[in-house]
Homo-oligomer: A and B are copies of this chain.
Amino acid sequence: MIENNDTSAQDSCDENPAFNNRHNHQDCISSALDKAQALCRTRNSRLTPVRKRVLELIWQSHKPLGAYQILSQLAADGFNSAPPTVYRALDFLLEHGLLHRIASLNAFIGCNNPNHNHHGYFLICRSCGSAQEIEAGNLSTYLRKNASAAGFVIESETVELSGLCPLCLEQQGHSQSDK
């Protein structure tokens, strides 16, 4: 059985910023960029202008962004903007754990915890498009145990949960009572 005795820590961005329209999003952005800078320094990797800009663009919101959306933003910024430019930057950021790819959306979202080598489990709102990475401490253990019963060894996990976020649920409630 799975239990949840999870007490996730809180940093400048609160626990579920994507579903909190009162959080200071500038903090999310600057925190993400700071972490990226620091991480690249320690790894002797280069956070070049394109890469940095892609990371910024992705952190503009908590909605996963498609590669071609990023591309058109880059173009507007005067960057080169052929597909490989973006995909290379995305690959780099993915490799360093600064991003996650959301397979069910073909889109990318920032990760605010690139050091901690964790699994990306996501709540994705089908209404507003926001996505929130969640901690689910025992989930991986449970999945691995379950898989091993079939003799299977898990290497990577795609867990993407779609539905309605608290903000959209509230709005829905209002619009219903308005009727």
Q: Is A164 an interface residue (CB 8 A)?
A: yes
Copies of this chain = 2
Q: Is the CB of A46 closer than 8 A to any CB of chain B? A: no
Query: Which B residue's beta carbon lies closest to that of A3?
Result: B142
Asked whether, in the complex, the Cβ of B152 is within 8 Å of the Cβ of A158, the reply is no
Please, what's the 1-or-0 string for A116-158, where 1 marks a CB less than 8 Å from any CB in chain B? 0000000101100000101010110011011101111111111
A104 an interface residue at 8 Å Cβ cutoff?
A: yes
Q: How far is the CA of A161 from the CA of B121 in the complex (A)?
A: 12
Interface residues of A in 53-105 (CB under 8 A from B): 103-104
A159 beta carbon closer than 8 Å to chain B: yes
Say whether B163 contacts A155, CB under 8 Å: yes
Closest to A160 in B: B158
Q: Which residues of chain B have C-beta atoms less than 8 A from A152's C-beta?
A: 19, 123, 125, 132, 161, 163-166
A1 at the interface (CB under 8 A from B): yes
CB-contact partner of A161 in B104, B126, B158, B164, under 8 A: B158
The verdict on A153 contacting B126 (CB below 8 Å), with A159-B159, A160-B103, A162-B158 known, is no
Indicate if the CB atoms of A146 and B16 lie closer than 8 Å.
no
Known: A155-B164, A161-B157, A162-B155. A150 touches B103 (CB 8 A): no
Q: CB distance A151 to B169 under 8 Å?
A: yes
- The digit string for A1-41, where 1 denotes a CB below 8 A from any CB of B, is 11010000000000110010000000000000000000000
Residue numbers of A with Cβ under 8 A of B are 1-2, 4, 15-16, 19, 103-104, 123, 125-126, 132, 134, 136, 138-139, 142-143, 145-147, 149-166, 169
